[in-house]
Chain A
Amino acid sequence: MKTDTQEKKKLSRKDFLKLAGVATVAGGAGSLLGLKKGLAREEQPTQAVDVDLSKLPQDIVQKNELLRMQEDLLRALKKPLKERKWAMVLDLRKCIGCSACTIGCKAENVLPPGVVYRPVMDEEIGVFPKVTRRFTPRPCMQCENPPCTPVCPVKATHKREDGVVVVDYERCIGCRYCITACPYNARTADFGEEYTEGTPKVEEYESRPSFEYKKKWPRKHGVSPIGNARKCHFCIHRIEEGLLPACVTTCIGGATYFGDNNDTDSLVSELISRPNITTLKSELGTKPKVYYIWG
C-alpha cells in the first residue's frame, strides 16, 4: 500500500519531469531566439540600457563605484566636447591580473591576433620566499603631449578636443612610424590575420565588424583597419553612447576607474587628487591621462 508521502513524491517527480520538459523546450527556443538576437546584435554597436540613475537612491549610486562613474559620464556628456577631459585611474592594489579587461577590449573592438590595446604587464618582485607580483594594465596613455601624433606623415592620428588620441583609419597609410614613436609600446599594427586561420573554417565571429570611432568597420581583406596602426581610444564609441569603456565594466576587481577629470565632483578627479597617484614615465613630459595608484 502506497503512503501519502510516496504518492506526493511520485506526483512531484512527474511534475518535475513535466516542468523540466517544458523548461527545456522553452529554454531551447529561448536560447535559439537569444542566440539569433545576439548574432544580430553583433552587427550593431553596443547600446546603452535606458536606466534613469536619478530615480535610484543617491546613497546607493554614491556607494557603488560603477554607478557613480556612470553618473559622472552622463554628466560629462552634457558638456561640449572640449570641456571634457577623459581620464583613467588604475588601482594596482585591486588588480588581480586576470586580464578580463584585455579580453573584454579584444571582444569589444574585434581585435585580431597581434593587436592588443590593453595588455596587463606581470612582474615578479623580490626573491623567494619574499616574492610578490605586480600587475599593471597598460592602455594608451592618451598623453597630453603625445609623441606619436606629430610624426604621422599624413595627419592620420591626432588628439581630439577631449584629449583622446585617435587614428583616422581611412587616411592611415600603415607606415607604422607612430608605433616607433610611442614610449609605452601602446600602438599596434593590424596585419590582417584571424585567430582561426589555418583551421578548416575561419569563424564568423572573427569577421564581424568593429564599431570603433562610431563607424562600422567590416573585417575584409585589404580594407581598413587591416593594414593600419591601431590603439586604445578609451572606447569613445561607447562613451558617447553613455557607456563606460569595456575595460572598466569587465574589470572584476573594480580596479579601473574612468571619468571626466574636468569635473571636480567625478570619482576619477577625486582619486587623481590623492597623493598616492602616479603616471608611467612621467619624466618624459608626455603628461599621460592614465593614472596609477601604486600603494
Chain B
Amino acid sequence: MRLLYKIFWGICFAVGAMAVGERLVIGKKLLNLGSYVTWGLWVSLYIYLVGLSSGAYIFTSLASVFKLERFAKLRRISLLTSLVTLLAALVAIVLDLGHWERFWYVLIYPTPSSMMSWMVWLYSLYLLLLVTQVFFVFSAKAEKARFLFLIGFPLAIAIPVCGGSLFGVIGARPYWHSAIFPVLFFFEALLSGVALITFLGIVFGLAKDDKEEIFIILPKILLGLLAANIVLEASVMAVPLWGQIAYHIDAVKLVLFGEFWWVFWIAHIGLGCLIPLLLLLSKTNIIKAAVASGLIAITFMSVRLNIVIPALAIPELKGLESAFIEKRLMFSYVPSLHEWQVSLFIVALAVGLFYAGLKLLPSLERRKA
C-alpha cells in the first residue's frame, strides 16, 4: 500500500514538474488567466496553503504557550505541516509572478502602504521561525521551542489577518472590501489548519484508541470552529444580499448561482460543512473524526477559489465586457490543464517534503512508536 502511495505521488510530481518546466521556459502563455480575471487557481492555492500553515501553527503555539500538554503529541506533526505547506505556498506564488526572478525585490523595496509588502515580511519571519522551531522541537530542545512559540503565536495570527486584509483593503472590489475579511481569514485558517492536523494525527496513528483524550477534544474544537466559520461566511453572503445594491451583490450571486455554483453548494457546503457537521454532531469516533477533518481540510480549497475569482469576474464598468474582445480580456475563467498540472506539482511537493520530514526527522517516528 505504501509503495502504491509512493508511485501515485511520484507520478503526480513528475507530471507536475514537466508543467513547472514549461512555466519556466515558455512563460505564462499557457495560463488561462487574463487582464481582468488576473488571479486564479495558483493564488487560490497559495492562500489555501498559507491558511493551513498558519492555522496549524496558531493552534500548536496556543497549546504550547498555555501549556496544554495534552496537545503536545501533535506538536511535531503540526510544525512539519506548517513548514511544508508554507514552502509549497511560496512556490505557488512565486510561479504566479510575471517576473518570478525578481521576487526578492519585495525584500529590498519595502512598501508599508502595500499589504502585500507586509505579507512578504511576515512570511519571511515566519519561515525563519518555523525552520528554527522545527530544528529545536525535533532535537527535543522543548524549552527553546516554547520560547519561540511565544514569538510565533502573534506572528501566526498576523499572517491570516494580513492575508484577509490584502483582499479587504481593495476598495475597488465590493466583494472583498469588508472589515470582516481579516477576521474571516483568521477563523478560516484556524479551521482548515486544525482540521488538517487532526486528520494527519489520526492517519499517522497518533491516536492509540477511540478514547484517546485529544481525539475526543479535537472534534469538539473543530465543531466550534466550523460553526463560527458558517456564521461568518453567512454574514459575508447575506449582508450584501439583504442590501440589494447590484454593485455589492453581483459577485455573491456569481458564487451562489453562477456557472460554478457547485463549487460552493456541493464542494463547500455539502462536503465541507454539512457532512462534517453531521459527523461531528453525532457520537464521534476516530474514523468519523478523520473523515470529517479530512473533508474540511481538503474541500477548503473551494472556499479559497470562491474568494479570489468571483470578485474579479465582475466588470467594474458596464459595457467593458464587450468593449474589446480578446481571449485575455474576458470576465470568465477556467484554469487550464497547465495550471492544474502545476498545482498538482505543488501539492505533490508538499506531500514529498512532509514525507522527507518524517524520514529525516526521525523523532516523530520514535514518538509515534
Binding site for B on A (CB under 8 A): 99, 102, 113-116, 119-123, 136, 138, 147, 150-156, 171-177, 179-185, 187-193, 221-222, 224, 226-229, 280, 284
Min CB–CB distance B363 → chain A (angstroms): 38
Which residues of chain B are near A182, meaning CB under 8 Å? 172, 316
Q: Mark B288-328, 1 if CB is under 8 A from A, else 0.
A: 00000000000000000000000110011111101110111
Query: B235 at interface (Cβ–Cβ under 8 A)?
Result: no
- Could you say which of B98, B105, B171, B318 contacts A147, with CB atoms under 8 Å apart? B171
**B31 closest partner in A (C-beta):** A191
**A284 closest partner in B (C-beta):** B171
Please determine whether A177 and B324 come into contact, CB atoms closer than 8 angstroms. Answer: no
Which residues of chain A are near B120, meaning CB under 8 Å? 153
Min CB–CB distance A170 → chain B (angstroms): 9
Query: B117 at interface (Cβ–Cβ under 8 A)?
Result: yes
Please determine whether B97 and A154 come into contact, CB atoms closer than 8 angstroms. Answer: no
Q: How many A-B residue pairs have CB under 8 A?
A: 159
Q: List 11 A-B contacts (CB under 8 A).
A: A113-B327, A114-B329, A119-B323, A138-B320, A150-B111, A151-B114, A176-B38, A185-B320, A189-B35, A191-B28, A192-B27
Query: B109 at interface (Cβ–Cβ under 8 A)?
Result: yes
> Which residues of B, 107-136, contact A by the 8 Å Cβ criterion?
109, 111, 113-117, 120
Min CB–CB distance B231 → chain A (angstroms): 27
Residue picked from B319, B327, B329, most chain A C-beta under 10 Å: B319
Q: Decide: A191 near B115, CB < 8 A? Known: A123-B319, A154-B106.
A: no
Please determine whether A173 and B105 come into contact, CB atoms closer than 8 angstroms. Answer: yes
Which residues of chain A are near B115, meaning CB under 8 Å? 151
3 shortest interchain CB distances as A-B pairs? A174-B98, A114-B328, A227-B98
Min CB–CB distance B245 → chain A (angstroms): 13
Min CB–CB distance A38 → chain B (angstroms): 26
**A185 closest partner in B (C-beta):** B316
Which residues of chain B are near A226, meaning CB under 8 Å? 27, 98
Docked complex Cα distance between A116 and B325 (Å): 10
Residue picked from B35, B324, B328, most chain A C-beta under 10 Å: B35
Please determine whether A150 and B114 come into contact, CB atoms closer than 8 angstroms. Answer: yes
Min CB–CB distance A99 → chain B (angstroms): 8
Query: B39 at interface (Cβ–Cβ under 8 A)?
Result: yes
Please determine whether A172 and B312 come into contact, CB atoms closer than 8 angstroms. Answer: no
> Which residues of B, 315-345, contact A by the 8 Å Cβ criterion?
315-320, 322-324, 326-329
Which residues of chain B are near A120, meaning CB under 8 Å? 323-324
Known: A102-B324, A121-B317. 4 other contacts (CB 8 A): A121-B322, A153-B109, A154-B102, A155-B111
Please determine whether B171 and A187 come into contact, CB atoms closer than 8 angstroms. Answer: no
Which residues of chain B are near A177, meaning CB under 8 Å? 114, 116, 166
Residue picked from A152, A171, A175, most chain B C-beta under 10 Å: A175
Please determine whether B323 and A138 come into contact, CB atoms closer than 8 angstroms. Answer: yes
Docked complex Cα distance between A151 and B170 (Å): 9
Please determine whether B98 and A176 come into contact, CB atoms closer than 8 angstroms. Answer: yes
Which residues of chain B are near A229, meaning CB under 8 Å? 98
